[in-house]
Amino acid sequence: MKSDGLSGYANGNMLRSHGVADLLREARLRYGLGLAIVSDHIRIRQAYLEAIEEGRFSDLPGSTYGAGFVRTYADYLGLDSDELVRRFRQETARAGGPAQLIFPTLRSETTIPGGAIIMLSLLLAGLAYGAWFIFSEREKSQVGAVQQVPPQLTALLNDKGAPPAVGGTTGAAFAPVPVAAPAAPPPPAQTVAAPPR
């Protein structure tokens, strides 16, 4: 059962004579509560509670939120929340008329256009490829040129398979030397078993 919370107001006479802001502030002060304590208990920002108590309803985030804040605040203080929300809606309707919604306009972003990004990317890719090509060519030029072919190899090519003479000798110097076959391993030693005793 909901308490009307108006017993201290001479059966609601003050409710008719005061606005929502005054009623909420007087009820809070009657209980000796600070706005910070009330704000912590009902989880509504202190700035919004101050705006409600001072009648600055335009500082609230919207009429729906404002009505919810007034309902929660009135319930916390033991007042008739339905009556206070009704009065809050009447006061806000008289003060500002229907709420006009103002939507923010989007500003154009100040960024580089897409075509410029593509051209810049292609330019950077071309520069990177050019640098790679130049550095890879430098490495090739640093490799020493092949020296003159030695005369022994030239003679070998001219003789078509005959080994060239080295130091005035004939091709016998390059003839393969027969290698002796490795000696066969010695046969395993035979052990004679001792006669049983």
Mean pLDDT is lowest, of 68-72, 80-84, 103-107, 139-143, for 139-143
For residues 128 and 135, the model is more confident at 128
In this predicted model, what pLDDT tens digit does every residue of 20-48 receive, in sequence order?
999 999 999 999 999 999 999 999 999 99
Closest CA to 77 of 19, 29, 18: 29
List own/partner pairs for 188-195 with CB under 8 A and 24 or more apart: none
The CATH label, of 1.10.260.40, 3.40.309.10, 3.10.129.10, 3.40.50.1100, for the domain at 7-96 is 1.10.260.40
Q: Which amino acid is at 179?
A: V
Residue ranges covered by each domain of the chain: 7-96
Alpha-carbon gap, residue 141 to 143, rounded angstroms: 5
- pTM (2 d.p.): 0.43
